[in-house]
Chains A and B, each alone.
Chain A
């Protein structure tokens, strides 16, 4: 679905993404992890044409991204941002309805089909009850579900999420991730998600890309990527990796510096 080969991109003077290659297949749930400034968001911005200049090749459905018109691309790829500054108090329903913009002509009113898509998006993301609320007065968790609903109203084939859970408590985090897992399984929606929390990434994604300074340090299954060697090399932090007793997925625990130096036993424990 998405095929990236030798891609480099960035802003005017500074190259952020350096010669990376990977592919995302239909129906995958891919996590992108890496330290701050490693190029995760820039990668997304290049895929969605916000950063328009790049070298190498970036194919979506076998067509170069630069050749896709923005409107057509908006019917294929939707983005859930980490946060949006809401300048005006739109009703939740009207906000979600903006997700239909790429389908509507300038003189066209929304049809029944559009209304159905909006309703379904709101139900799936659990914000039907927020319909008449105002976006400027929602809590973080509610707002994130509303962003998700807007993206789903676009009826995308590929959903990109940029740290959708970083402002949320663990209850809401799990709720959002669970929703995504369901869209992925039931609807076959392809998902690429940037995550800060390595454990969430390991728990929900089928495949991980670990970025470091604009390059792919390691790509593969969660247990291949989330090893203490990889994490320590990229994040420059001492960690212990264990297995989650329920799910069998890797679980990463950071170790405070002072403990590490004084407690030699830990060295044995980590293996």
Chain B
């Protein structure tokens, strides 16, 4: 019952965070907006500037935390997440291609689609490389680093042969930022992202069994290879959606599931829901900091999660009994 309590608290905290963060920004707005405001500028700032960003951060935080907790479970390794495995990198490469290839940039859905395909390609590569090493931590991290490096090199290659105007918007994706977000793109990614997250919750019992290893999973009536392939596709879809709106936001998927596992335990259903909620809270807060700390100049949110998460990651490496 402790789990249910934690989840209820997180829901309340998420709602509070959204309300508070709507009121924070370079233009001071009193909380009268809650009861409706007649001031045109204020309502414009609230509903057209801040709300889409907060919604975007909420969805991306939710998606990345979910993706991280699933990857950790199916690879049986607590260091796995979209960013450290190079899956986000693959998605960014997809996005970069999409922005510079004229044929692709004309189509509305091409951005998330290309991000998804990029993520999927990375997942397949990571799997092929690390399955030979039984998904050991070192092979996962090494292949992730190399994959990220290759992807960002190709992105830079694309930059170097394209026009400066095209580069500007793509640069944000490499750093992770919500500065370019608007309602249309949120509408496109919201439904696949939420659907993917729900599917993962429905599969949580099977995922628990999969963490015991392939052989035990088969003995308990689960076909491990088929299930893992399916989960990889869902995870890529979620990661692709996240990257399509925010670029590379690192370490959310690593840090959040870790903290939640120590609170609600390793059972997937509770862990997924708690991670999704706290991932959303974390990223909404981070993005609010990013846009208000040194306003009017804006920090990319990826810088904040990168520093906080990177320190957390190092602490994990130092303290871990066995990785």
Which of A18-26, A82-90, A122-130, A223-231 has 4 or more CB atoms under 8 Å from chain B?
A82-90
Enumerate chain B residues within 8 angstroms of A74, measured Cβ to Cβ: 219-221
Which of B29-37, B100-108, B181-189, B202-210 has 4 or more CB atoms under 8 Å from chain A?
B202-210
B214-233 contact mask (Cβ, 8 Å, vs A): 1 or 0 = 01101111110000000000
**CB–CB B220/A102 < 8 A:** yes
Closest-CB distance, B273 to chain A (whole angstroms): 15
Any chain A CB within 8 A of the CB of B191? no
Any chain B CB within 8 A of the CB of A253? no
Supposing A81-B215, A106-B202 touch, asked if A91 and B265 sit within 8 A by C-beta, the answer is yes
Query: CA separation between A38 and B222, bound complex, in Å?
Result: 28
Partner of B212 from A50, A75, A84, A104 at Cβ < 8 Å: A84
Chain B interface, DSSP helix/strand/loop, else mixed: loop
**CB–CB A101/B213 < 8 A:** no
Enumerate chain B residues within 8 angstroms of A91, measured Cβ to Cβ: 265
**CB–CB A90/B221 < 8 A:** no
**CB–CB A154/B202 < 8 A:** no
**CB–CB B205/A94 < 8 A:** no
Enumerate chain A residues within 8 angstroms of B220, measured Cβ to Cβ: 74, 98-99, 101-102, 154
A54-80 contact mask (Cβ, 8 Å, vs B): 1 or 0 = 000000000000000011111101110
Closest-CB distance, A54 to chain B (whole angstroms): 15
- Beyond A75-B221, A98-B208, A101-B220, 6 additional contacts (C-beta under 8 Å) are A73-B221, A78-B219, A87-B76, A90-B208, A101-B205, A101-B222
**B residues within 8 Å of A by Cβ?**
73, 76-78, 202-203, 205-206, 208-209, 211-213, 215-216, 218-223, 261, 265-267
Supply 5 A–B pairs (Cβ within 8 Å), ascending by A: A70-B218, A88-B73, A94-B267, A101-B206, A154-B220
The 6 closest A-B pairs by CB, nearest first: A74-B221, A102-B221, A88-B266, A71-B221, A87-B76, A79-B219
